[in-house]
Structure 1
């Protein structure tokens, strides 16, 4: 193995956004990720979204995954994959990119020392970013009127609690009723808050001129449902936001109407508390658990099966990390979406199922025989 692997890998990580611009020039920065079509799979097609994502800020820099093909790895694996080469070829590409090939041994040693210092700085920045991410999830859920942007999201009127009778809540109640999952105090009191106007942050315009990234224009504003995603100990670390059309009882007219801000891994939205009526982090009384990917699917169970706890994980990938090891979980019903013919979703389902089963509890999988999920069944949709 190459004697300069460490400085090549560290150097590529230190310049990860430039690496992505070189390898994936058709991609763009979205949040802390570089999002692009997969040139190896040639997967660009009408109706699809780019599925190759590389971490460029706030986390394990250089880590990447194609959510369509399942390919993943670190920054050197990214070079191997995109360049269609092996580790030897990836290192050669890295040397050229970083200008290492022309360096003297002394210069390489100096670079190695400098990269060690930068790695320590990156680790410290990553920890600060992680803590900030945790704070953002809580702050966006409990947003107060007049606050400045929260983690890059504008929510000028704040959020209103369930039962306050706000116009935003009335509008959201109409939305859920149209989905045949009317929310009540059991399902909504502890997990929903309502915003008359939250920025759909995917629509924001960013400017990198002058070497400093700043928001040049905010994304469009929509009424929204803010849902608390809680860790095993009840702490809100992520806010799930469902954007609604301002006039009709439908989702907002954007390509992705549900977004999450904060640390979602291992966090769930508690939609029903089962017979005990106690939060999952405050009781050891066992009860069956129903877990689903989306809120509407989970609500379809919450309004019909009072003897079960019901959680929504926000997305399929996060189900694997749900805290089903808690004493209050007797056994698990995994209410999966159908996603017929979707190979990516099937791989994610298998990972999610393995994660649930790893705790040694009984896991039963059910899929709706109508439509894509159980909410389609509740609505009577084909």
Structure 2
């Protein structure tokens, strides 16, 4: 017998475009797909929803190309309403589909409280709490292999020895479903963990794990970031963890925030103390769009924005290929005079 959630997910998939128009209203249809920035309805093109069956998958399935997350229409609805449980999600889905409420089936004592639903901030906090500091772990070795050696003030990073990895359609059948992982806490202004960013690693090669999507986020990410140092009047924002950690090797006293993806970088909330923002941009269209969006928002908030450009593909490439002194020289040319004296 088909489970209620499965039946509802199937009915939602049959009306995938209607679901997208309701809950992902800032996106648009292109061919057999609905394109949007992320499940939080941010404008963009990194997340795509199949509106019809294709060779790659069934209608109603979606994938976020920025972080590798994927799911079905129920996940879209859960994110849209901020559902705290599957029950809330199914109630909203039934209302959308104009279905009657389910018949009561339980007459005994109330069931025990279950663990936090997957993907919620509570689940993210539990995962982060289960990890340990990175000192002496695969995470530290992975970062040092990438020439990132300044690791003071990196309490936002932790190590998990066997972090579960959800296999995707692009993964080989023999792919393992658990790997060592770097777990980064995504926090709000008050330091409360709202989500985590996971990077799966290979303990033997000290590189990213050989999986289709080695990076994924969970929890409430939009508007928040991975923070290194306390907020101040001058800060630097960037997309990738390795990018921001590389910059910290050259400017360890400059507070930094990593947005984990270009879409999330563009939406990061500005600390109230901020007056000047350096943005470490990635050399790709998504990075350019994120900087343009941040520039508009910073101008409206009367914040001075300065873009930092790497010599190579990104600042970690600068650090690895050119060395720390060349990285610092490049930054010196781009910082304001008072910031050179203060942070370099």
Common fold by TM > 0.5: yes
Deviations 1:275-333 (CA, angstroms, capped at 9, x unpaired): xxxx33xxxxx331111100010011112113311111111111122221422x23100
Deviations 1:124-176 (CA, angstroms, capped at 9, x unpaired): xxxxx999712122112112xxxxxxxxxxxxxxx21244x4xxx2x221111
- Count residues in correspondence: 254
Alignment of 1:53-68 (within 5 A): 56-60=73-77
Distance 1:367 1:265 in 2: 25
Alignment of 1:165-204 (within 5 A): 165=136, 169=137, 171-186=138-153, 188=154, 190-203=155-168
Distance 1:59 1:227 in 2: 24
1:89 aligns with: none
Instruction: Determine if the alignment matches structure 1 residue 303 to structure 2 residue 261.
Output: no
Contact 1:320–1:353 (8 Å) recurs in 2:
no
Give the drift of 1:113: 11
Instruction: Choose the corresponding residue for 1:17, options 13, 18, 25.
Output: 13
Contact 2:52–2:58 (8 Å) recurs in 1:
no
Instruction: Determine if the alignment matches structure 1 residue 244 to structure 2 residue 207.
Output: no
Q: Structure 1: where are the runs of 5+ without partners?
A: 1-11, 38-47, 64-110, 119-128, 144-158, 206-216, 274-278, 281-285
Secondary structure in 2 matching 1:249: coil
Larger Rg: 1
1:293 aligns with: 239
Distance 1:360 1:248 in 2: 46
Deviations 1:227-270 (CA, angstroms, capped at 9, x unpaired): 10001221111111111112012111123211111111112111
Deviations 1:311-366 (CA, angstroms, capped at 9, x unpaired): 11111111122221422x23100100112xx4x55444433443444422111112
2:98 aligns with: 115
Instruction: Determine if the alignment matches structure 1 residue 316 to structure 2 residue 303.
Output: no
Give the drift of 1:376: 0.8
Alignment of 1:87-166 (within 5 A): 115=98, 133-143=120-130, 159-163=131-135, 165=136
Secondary structure in 2 matching 1:318: helix
Aligned-residue CA RMSD in angstroms? 4.1
Give the drift of 1:36: 6.8
Distance 2:67 2:269 in 1: 30
Distance 1:141 1:228, change over 3 A: same
Instruction: Determine if the alignment matches structure 1 residue 267 to structure 2 residue 224.
Output: yes
Distance 1:35 1:195 in 2: 27
Secondary structure in 1 matching 2:275: strand
1:224 aligns with: 181
Distance 1:263 1:62, change over 3 A: closer
Contact 1:325–1:359 (8 Å) recurs in 2:
no
Instruction: Choose the corresponding residue for 1:379, options 311, 320, 334.
Output: 320
Give the drift of 1:381: 6.6
Distance 2:96 2:195 in 1: 37
Contact 1:223–1:245 (8 Å) recurs in 2:
yes
Query: Which portions of structure 1, spanning 4 or more consecutive aligned residues, are displaced by more than 4 angstroms?
Result: 48-51, 59-63, 111-114, 129-132
Instruction: Determine if the alignment matches structure 1 residue 235 to structure 2 residue 207.
Output: no
Contact 2:233–2:276 (8 Å) recurs in 1:
yes
Distance 1:303 1:29, change over 3 A: farther
2:38 aligns with: none
Instruction: Choose the corresponding residue for 1:336, options 260, 281, 284.
Output: 281
Contact 1:330–1:361 (8 Å) recurs in 2:
yes
Contact 1:201–1:218 (8 Å) recurs in 2:
no
Contact 2:67–2:261 (8 Å) recurs in 1:
no
Q: Structure 2: where are the runs of 5+ without partners?
A: 1-7, 17-49, 81-93, 102-115, 324-344
Contact 2:150–2:248 (8 Å) recurs in 1:
no
Instruction: Determine if the alignment matches structure 1 residue 366 to structure 2 residue 314.
Output: no
Contact 1:176–1:183 (8 Å) recurs in 2:
no
Secondary structure in 2 matching 1:380: helix
Contact 1:332–1:364 (8 Å) recurs in 2:
yes
Contact 1:204–1:218 (8 Å) recurs in 2:
no
